[in-house]
Amino acid sequence: MNKASTDQETIAAYQALIENMGRITAQCQELVNAFSQQQPPSQPKATDIDPFNISNTFIELGKAMMANPERLVQAQMSLMNQYADLWQKMLHNSGKPEKPEGQSTSGGKKGDRRFKDAAWEENPLFEHLKQAYLLTAQHIEKTVAETSGLDEKEARKAAFYTRQFVDSMSPSNFLLTNPEALKETIDSKGENLVRGLRNVIEDLKAGEGQLKIRQTDTSAFEVGVNIATTPGKVVFRNELMELIQYAPLTKTVFRRPLLIIPPWINKFYILDLEPKNSFIRWSISKGYTVFVISWVNPDAKLAEKNFVDYMHEGIFAALDAIAMATGEREVNTVGYCIGGTLLASTLAYMAARGDKRIKAATMLVAQVDFSEPGELEVFIDEEQINALDEKMSEKGYLESSSMSTTFNLLRANDLIWSFVVNNYLLGKEPYPFNLLYWNQDSTRMPRAMHLFYLREMYLHNHLVKPGAIVFDDVPIDLTTIKVPMYLQSAREDHISPYPSVFKGGHHFQGPVRFIIAGSGHIAGVINPPAAHKYHYLVNEKQPDNLDEWLAGAEEHPGSWWPDWHRWLYRRSGKKIPARRPGDGQLKPLEDAPGSYVKMK
The 10s digit of each residue's pLDDT in 138-147 is 988 988 888 8
Q: What is the pLDDT of residues 58-110, one digit of tens each?
A: 787 778 778 877 777 787 788 788 878 887 777 776 555 555 444 434 344 55
User: Alpha carbon of 256 to those of 72, 330, 360, 422, 544: distances in Å?
Assistant: 64, 6, 10, 49, 31
| Residue of higher predicted confidence among 6 and 283 | 283
The answer to whether the CB of 51 falls within 8 A of the CB of 384 is yes
Determine the pLDDT at residue 105: 40
What are phi and psi for residue 11, nearest 5 degrees? -60, -45
Cβ neighbour number for residue 569 with a 10 Å cutoff = 16
Cβ neighbour number for residue 182 with a 10 Å cutoff = 15
Q: Which of 35, 416, 421, 25 is nearest to 196 (CA)?
A: 421
The answer to whether the CB of 497 falls within 8 A of the CB of 156 is no
Q: Which of 185, 199, 201, 200 is nearest to 17 (CA)?
A: 185
Least confident of 225-239, 276-290, 368-382: 368-382
Rounded to an integer, what distance in angstroms lies between the CA atom of residue 317 and that of residue 241?
Answer: 9
Least confident of 128-137, 344-353, 543-552, 553-562: 128-137
Q: What is the CA radius of gyration of the chain?
A: 27
Q: Is 337 a catalytic residue?
A: yes
The residues, any chain, with a CB within 8 Å of residue 171's CB and separated by 6 or more, are: 126, 129, 130, 133, 177, 178
Peptide bond into 171 cis (omega under 30): no
Looking at residue 113, its amino acid is: R
Q: What is the pLDDT of residues 173-185, one digit of tens each?
A: 999 999 999 999 9
pLDDT band at 51 (very low <50, low <70, confident <90, very high): low
Handedness of CA 173, 177, 180, 181 (dihedral sign): positive
What predicted TM-score, i.e. pTM, was given to this entire model?
A: 0.88
The answer to whether the CB of 445 falls within 8 A of the CB of 352 is no
Cβ neighbour number for residue 203 with a 10 Å cutoff = 18
pLDDT at 25 over 60: no
Specify which residues 420 forms β-bridges with: none
State mean pLDDT over 20-33: 51
State mean pLDDT over 440-463: 94
Q: What is the pLDDT of residues 414-448, one digit of tens each?
A: 989 999 999 999 999 999 999 999 999 989 999 99
Q: Which of 246, 251, 310 is nearest to 279 (CA)?
A: 246
| Residue of higher predicted confidence among 374 and 41 | 374
Rounded to an integer, what distance in angstroms lies between the CA atom of residue 242 and that of residue 318?
Answer: 9
The residues, any chain, with a CB within 8 Å of residue 294's CB and separated by 6 or more, are: 234, 241, 242, 243, 244, 262, 267, 268, 593, 594, 596, 597
The residues, any chain, with a CB within 8 Å of residue 448's CB and separated by 6 or more, are: 303, 304, 305, 306
Specify which residues 2 forms β-bridges with: none
- Helix axes of 152-168 and 124-145: crossing angle, nearest 10 degrees: 170
Determine the pLDDT at residue 95: 52
The answer to whether the CB of 292 falls within 8 A of the CB of 271 is yes
Determine the pLDDT at residue 46: 47
pLDDT at 292 over 60: yes
Rounded to an integer, what distance in angstroms lies between the CA atom of residue 270 and that of residue 223?
Answer: 11
Rounded to an integer, what distance in angstroms lies between the CA atom of residue 27 and that of residue 360?
Answer: 59
pLDDT at 196 over 60: yes
Please return the burial class of 489, using the count of CB atoms within 10 Å of its CB with bins 0-12, 13-18 and 19+.
buried
SS3 state at 481: coil
- Which domains are present in the chain? 50-183 (no CATH), 232-379+444-598 (3.40.50.1820)
The kind and range of the H/E element at 251 are none
Determine the pLDDT at residue 263: 96
Rounded to an integer, what distance in angstroms lies between the CA atom of residue 304 and that of residue 301?
Answer: 8
pLDDT at 522 over 90: yes
Q: What is the pLDDT of residues 242-262, one digit of tens each?
A: 999 999 999 999 999 999 999
> Active site residue: 86, 319, 337, 448, which one?
337
Determine the pLDDT at residue 101: 47
Q: What is the DSSP letter of 346?
A: H
Q: Which of 14, 106, 262 is nearest to 271 (CA)?
A: 262
Determine the pLDDT at residue 29: 52
SS3 state at 532: coil
Mean pLDDT for the chain overall? 88
Q: Which of 241, 239, 599, 298 is nearest to 445 (CA)?
A: 298
Rounded to an integer, what distance in angstroms lies between the CA atom of residue 26 and that of residue 358?
Answer: 63
What are phi and psi for residue 398, nearest 5 degrees? -95, 130
Determine the pLDDT at residue 315: 98
User: Alpha carbon of 499 to those of 145, 373, 551: distances in Å?
Assistant: 22, 9, 14
Rounded to an integer, what distance in angstroms lies between the CA atom of residue 489 and that of residue 497?
Answer: 7
Please return the burial class of 351, using the count of CB atoms within 10 Å of its CB with bins 0-12, 13-18 and 19+.
buried
